[in-house]
Amino acid sequence: MSSDLKVFLWRGAQAGHYQAFAVPLRENQTVLDVVTYVQRHLDPTLAYRFACRVGVCGSCAMTVNGRPRWTCRTHVSKVVADGGLEIGPLENLPVIKDLATDMSRFFEKWQEAKGAFVPTKTRHDEIEAIAPASAPRLAAAAAIECINCGVCHAACDTVRWNESYLGPAALNRAWTLVNDARDGGNRERLSAVAAAGGCHACHSHQSCQEHCPQSLNPTASIAGLKRRTAQAWLRGEIKARRLEGKA
């Protein structure tokens, strides 16, 4: 392997191009290290995001050789192909500049899925005890570690085809709240995720599960929402006309 790494970085906005750089190849080098080297030593106009650098914040997510990844946890030696790297912005999101995408719509969908906790008690009430081994708590625990990095959204084929689809991250969040005994917003939440563009639009390709850096399975969460919304419809808790989408 040569001492220099061939790096092709996306430049510009949505209608941009890849620009080639030569970056020194070093031991234990991450993809984020490569991008940072370019910005600090070769082209200070390069735009990208990062914060923690240790796999906690998720803000450094990019497309590396065609796959969405956290660049801070991706070692060059594991993804380099023919001595090179192609690094672009996350897909399924508008590009602001270079490697930075506009996450606004991503978080708007999280809100449309009613991803905010709706309290049922005040600070003066006793804290409700949740049994750690209860089925709802276990279901929520399996999905709760999402940090909204956008990797699953970028990997999702349904998001690519259907602009109204809420996406795996938003629906995964909704599933954790549906299983939270303390939350009081389930009627509205189930109506929201049962609507067109909601959980029933998922094709269960499991791209989200395959690519999730946290090893979560949003497809399983979405399957749970499909069952729960169907039950809610049969019980008359949500209107039949809302239960739309393609299974």
**What was the pLDDT predicted at 239?**
80
**What was the pLDDT predicted at 64?**
98
The C-alpha atoms of residue 154 and residue 79 are separated, in whole angstroms, by 18
Kindly state the greatest CA–CA separation across the chain.
66
Mean pLDDT across the chain:
94
Encode pLDDT of 61-82 as tens digits: 999 999 999 999 999 999 998 8
Do 178 and 186 form a contact (C-beta atoms < 8 A)?
yes
Contacts of 96 (CB under 8 A, 6+ apart): 13, 47, 102
**What was the pLDDT predicted at 128?**
85
Give residue limits of the domains in the chain.
4-101, 104-234
Encode pLDDT of 168-206 as tens digits: 999 999 999 999 999 999 999 999 999 999 999 999 999
**Mean of the pLDDT values across residues 162-171?**
97
**What was the pLDDT predicted at 127?**
86
Work out the pLDDT band at 101, boundaries 50, 70, 90: very high
Work out the pLDDT band at 21, boundaries 50, 70, 90: very high
**What was the pLDDT predicted at 240?**
56
User: What is 104-234's CATH number?
Assistant: 1.10.1060.10
Domain 4-101 homologous superfamily, CATH: Beta-grasp domain (3.10.20.30)
Predicted TM-score of the model (pTM): 0.92
**pLDDT for 1 beyond 50:** no
**What was the pLDDT predicted at 3?**
85
Work out the pLDDT band at 148, boundaries 50, 70, 90: very high
Alpha-helical runs (H) found in 89-131:
104-112
Residue 205, both tokens: 């390709």
**pLDDT for 159 beyond 50:** yes
**What was the pLDDT predicted at 247?**
39
Share of the chain above pLDDT 90, in %: 90
**pLDDT for 243 beyond 60:** no
Alpha-helical runs (H) found in the chain:
31-37, 76-79, 104-112, 135-141, 151-155, 157-161, 168-178, 186-194, 207-211, 218-234
- Length in residues, the chain: 247
